[in-house]
Structure 1
């Protein structure tokens, strides 16, 4: 495992602030939004569709604290762009949007450095004010939209209105999992593409390497992976980039690439202040999580005996909920992974809590892989 300290030169132009929102392209946005509200605890935020004057695409935006997901679906049979994307990839993440300052500076830099511009700077406005956007291509068919909100005071973004549906009475009966913000977003690549993608973030966005592991550190009996985490200068946006490494069987990274049809977003990590409370509540809402073997906790207790770090949470509860623990001499993190959020074995979610630990669970990758391999085996894909 490598932790990098060299941020490189501070960009003279533009500033990346944080994740703004994530846009999923799905077959049925209304149902997908309902699923994430009911299961994951999101609330209706905003809507764009026929009733608001959007004739080609409908969008349902949902929010939980600082996390915003937008589910978009085509309205007309002839939407070939979205249609091809859905046939190829299934339901998945199309766009990861960043809030930025000085959009002109960021785009000037991106153009000078050769980024593929999907759509140059444009503006949209409504009664809440004006928002400026631009969009670039990243790995696979995934894009990044840069959003400069300025003094915009509207509900979400121009063109979005209050949800038209009545409030779902079921939601009032379910416990709030209190997920707070997007911690990181992981992109899976075909074998030997990770380095190219990491270099893309370095060159075009002036991100730097934050953390990495290779297949000598992360492997099971069957499969392995390599990973580089890219981040902006202020280190407020973390984008791990994974690729499979050769093993006896097909790795979960390769399974993703096969079923997604190439590179794309594999999982989204959502940060919480109290993972035990969050997971108990998410399980009450019917969310399914990967199960790690009991032996993991026997080994964890042995390893913790020699650590200066003391876990303040009850290890028996952590074991009962199948939460993973990773630690070094300074702190620890707690994490758990959902099962796939759709039929294809592609996108899933992570819930994470950090205690003075900025890593990504390298000590848990083996246990996580073994848990995923059990599900892979059941799917006939190991």
Structure 2
């Protein structure tokens, strides 16, 4: 391990229309505008809900020149050809030491160690490229900083006591990468060797050498999960964030992973799971505001096995069906433990929030389960495929993503 990751600090997005995404985050997803940075060359807006923080950077539109020095702090200039979520910022103890160790291992650093100061202290950061598509990692040390966010940003009036948006999201639960076929093992090794990430086994069929392989009824998918500290050993009050690697199996037809790779033009962040303590209230609020969510096929809720799972969990089938919420029982829970409360999770997925069929958000509520809804993959796969093949065409090009309500 060359660099010890303490915690997730924020995720950066690069988009051509900051105003539209800002409106969507605030009015639809119920994020708060937390801080801003505006210069002649760039705009950076910070949105927060709970401990989940997104930094949105304005990039040049297609065909417009992008200056080599775009004045972008804590990131590289946002010049990717399509809108993208592409920088996962980690807090570390020693930026310069991490830089030297990672550089010796062959890492590329578009931004060397840099220190930024203001009256509240100083922050040192560096930016390195990962082995996943256009994903970069900003490594940041805030130990000498007493401000609310980062030097160079102005905290908005809302932080000073103004009314905050009502939100039910409390932290980032996981980040999923879409990877080309056959690359997950390389990605896993990179994060293990450089950052000390640990394998996270999602299911009894999740094997150390192959991950969780799903190959049935037209679904060919490999999932591998990892996290950056062992649960319960960090001594930190903040929750950890897991990473999921998704790739298609060889010789598969059109699917959502391949669609992402094509429209995003490379591997990258496919979706981010946001944890909520009340998924029904969160979905209701967001859907009423115009967020489009995928709904599983109606038969999902009437399958004998799934219906039994929902009833055993004490959930209202009609309520879940009304909001398109999926339920997945923990497959590793022993059936013989009759006295133990059932462990399960609830989840729902937004439609893509960019013009391309790429990045989307997931809401997830955990009731003791630690997986990612492996039992729901088939239902999700079918609903996404239906959207790709028919629903989106009916919506019309200008009306994709968040502009569609359920």
TM-score, structure 1 normalization:
0.84
Cα shift at 1:22: 0.9
In the alignment, which residue of structure 2 is the partner of 1:302? Answer: 305
Cα shift at 1:289: 0.4
Measured in 2, the distance between the counterparts of 1:242 and 1:123 equals 36
Consecutive unaligned residues of structure 2, counting only runs of 5 or more, are 71-75, 232-239, 334-341, 394-406
* Cα 1:44–1:303 shift into 2, 3 Å: closer
Written as runs of structure 1 = structure 2, the 5 A alignment for 1:262-341 is 262-299=266-303, 302-303=305-306, 305=308, 310-328=312-330, 329=333, 331-341=343-353
Written as runs of structure 1 = structure 2, the 5 A alignment for 1:1-382 is 15-50=4-39, 55-74=40-59, 78-79=65-66, 88=81, 90-138=82-130, 139-163=132-156, 176-211=166-201, 213=206, 217-235=213-231, 236-246=240-250, 249-299=253-303, 302-303=305-306, 305=308, 310-328=312-330, 329=333, 331-378=343-390
Does structure 2 retain, via aligned residues, the 8 Å contact 1:222–1:250? no
Measured in 2, the distance between the counterparts of 1:253 and 1:69 equals 23
Measured in 1, the distance between the counterparts of 2:248 and 2:221 equals 5
SS at match of 1:364: helix
In the alignment, which residue of structure 1 is the partner of 2:236? Answer: none
Consecutive unaligned residues of structure 1, counting only runs of 5 or more, are 1-10
* Cα 1:375–1:220 shift into 2, 3 Å: farther
- Per-residue CA deviation, residues 256-278 of structure 1 (Å, 9 max, x unaligned), is 00000011100010000111111
Cα shift at 1:151: 4.0
Does structure 2 retain, via aligned residues, the 8 Å contact 1:129–1:152? yes
Measured in 2, the distance between the counterparts of 1:309 and 1:207 equals 37
* Range with bigger deviation, 104-113 or 274-283: 104-113
Cα shift at 1:318: 1.1
Does structure 1 retain, via aligned residues, the 8 Å contact 2:57–2:78? no
Cα shift at 1:194: 1.6
* Cα 1:260–1:134 shift into 2, 3 Å: same
* Cα 1:280–1:308 shift into 2, 3 Å: closer
Count of residues paired in the alignment: 357
Does structure 2 retain, via aligned residues, the 8 Å contact 1:38–1:285? yes
Measured in 2, the distance between the counterparts of 1:102 and 1:304 equals 51
- Per-residue CA deviation, residues 210-247 of structure 1 (Å, 9 max, x unaligned), is 13656984245334211111211335231111111245
SS at match of 1:117: coil
RMSD between aligned residues: 2.9
Measured in 1, the distance between the counterparts of 2:15 and 2:49 equals 20
Measured in 1, the distance between the counterparts of 2:177 and 2:28 equals 24
Measured in 1, the distance between the counterparts of 2:211 and 2:100 equals 37
* Cα 1:196–1:163 shift into 2, 3 Å: same
Does structure 2 retain, via aligned residues, the 8 Å contact 1:219–1:366? no
* Cα 1:285–1:219 shift into 2, 3 Å: farther
SS at match of 2:7: strand
Measured in 2, the distance between the counterparts of 1:274 and 1:230 equals 26
Measured in 1, the distance between the counterparts of 2:354 and 2:363 equals 18
Cα shift at 1:61: 0.9
Measured in 1, the distance between the counterparts of 2:181 and 2:213 equals 17
TM-score, structure 2 normalization:
0.80
